[in-house]
Every structure is written in C-alpha cells, then in structure tokens.
Amino acid sequence: MNSSIGNIRTIAKRELVGYFSSPVAFVFIVIFLLLAGFFTFMIAGFFERGEANLQPFFTWHPWLYLFLVPAVGMRLWSDERRLGTIELLLTMPVTAWQAIVGKFLAAWAVLALALVLTFPVVVTVNYLGHPDNGVILGGYIGSLLLAGSGLAISSMTSAITRNQVVSFILAVVISLFLILAGYPPVTNLLVQWASPWFVEGVAAFSVMTHFESIQKGVLDSRDVLYFLSVIVFGLFTTGVVVRAHRAG
C-alpha cells in the first residue's frame, strides 16, 4: 500500500514539474483567471445584480472548462506516445493504474490551484455584503468535481491518440455533449416531442444538472457520486487503452 502511494506521488511530482517547467500551467491559470473575471464582472454584471452571492461566477465554469480543461489534459498521454517515453514509463516499477492516477492528480492539482487563486472574488463578495459562505464552498467543491470529470475524459481521449489536437477535439465534443444534455434550451426542445421520463433520463447524464444542484449549496451524495463515476469511468477507460498499448 505504501509503495503504491509512493509510486503515485512520484509520478504526480514528475508531472507537476513538467507542467510548471513549461508555460502550460501558467498559461492555463492566467487565462482561466482572466476569463473568469471577465465573464463574472463584465458579462454577468456582478455589481449591477446587487446580490451578495457568486452565482454569476460559477455559472460560467462549465463553459470555461469546456475548452481549458482539455487543453491541460490533452498532453497527459498523447505527449508520452508522441515522444516515445510511454514505453519507458511503463517499464518503470509502477503499475499502469498508479501512473494513470498520478498523472490525473497532478493535472487536477493545477486546476485546483487555478480555483484557489480566485479567492479575491470571495473576498470581494464578503466585503460588499453578507453571502452564505457555505453555498460558496459548495460551489467550489462542485467546480472542482466538474473540472475533475472533464480531466478524466481528457485523459481517456489523450490515451486513445498520440495527436494532441485530436485528443483536444474529442474531449471538447464529449464534454459538450455532457453539458448540452441538461442545458435548459435543449431540455425544453426535447420536452416538445419526447416523454418526460426520457427528458429526465437525458438530463440525468448531464454535468449541468448535477453541478447546478451543488452550486446552490445542496451537496447531494447522488451529485457527488455522479462526478466520481465520470472520473472513475474516464480513468478506467484510460487504463484499458494504456494496457492495450503495453500489450501491443
């Protein structure tokens, strides 16, 4: 057990060094902070709303993650395959799942750091009013889980192809489907010709349905389980592809 955790920590540390020794992490964090601020204060009219909450801040996260998370995750395995270092990695005394989890946790840590650096928004809303910080905390937890699910999908698409652009496009398409499945304009359209049970079933697969619930401060175990299931599925599929590559 200790050796497994040690191997995962070693892989995660190796990946984090890789992220911060190149512009990838810095570019992602800067772009995320700039876009999050722009959409919150300029597009959503944070100050004009006159409400002490971060609803306009979290509303844009699924759309920001749609492009930014695949940009971070597309290199997870595509880079290893393109450079031929995957063979070296898989011959190291680590199992495939340890490498997968280590890589995933490192990339997730970069996303978490970007979220932590948005703390001035929390300070601002507390200065201007008296928000429910429990709801804000729920929003951050939901956002982190949302980012993790998108990252797991990106890990899967990155393992499938050595081309980072193809990996990016596949991850965006899959993530877009998971967003639109529960997006109000789409569900309203489905209601016109489909049965309510079918619409509810489609919406249940959407990240929007579960994220919006957590965003409101309702930390339902079913919503958390949904995001964890997407993460596990993405990493499991990554494992299947990586093992197939090792066997090949």
pTM, to two decimals = 0.89
Read off the pLDDT of residues 185-196 as tens digits, 9 standing for 90 and up.
777 777 777 777
Q: How far apart are the first and last CA of the chain?
A: 28
Dist CA 217 CA 203 (whole Å):
20
User: What pLDDT sits at residue 55?
Assistant: 84
Count helices and strands (H / E) in the chain: 15, 0
84 pLDDT exceeds 70? no
Burial grade of 219 (CB within 10 A; 0-12, 13-18, 19 or more): middle
Is 184 a residue whose pLDDT tops 80?
Answer: no
Q: Which domain holds residue 159?
A: 2-247
Mean pLDDT of all residues belonging to the chain? 85
Mean pLDDT of all residues in 101-109: 94
Which of the given ranges, 33-47, 48-62, 142-156, has the highest pLDDT on average?
142-156
Output the pLDDT for position 83.
63
What's the number of domains the chain is made of? 1
- Picking from 116, 102, 148, the residue whose alpha carbon sits closest to that of residue 33 is 116
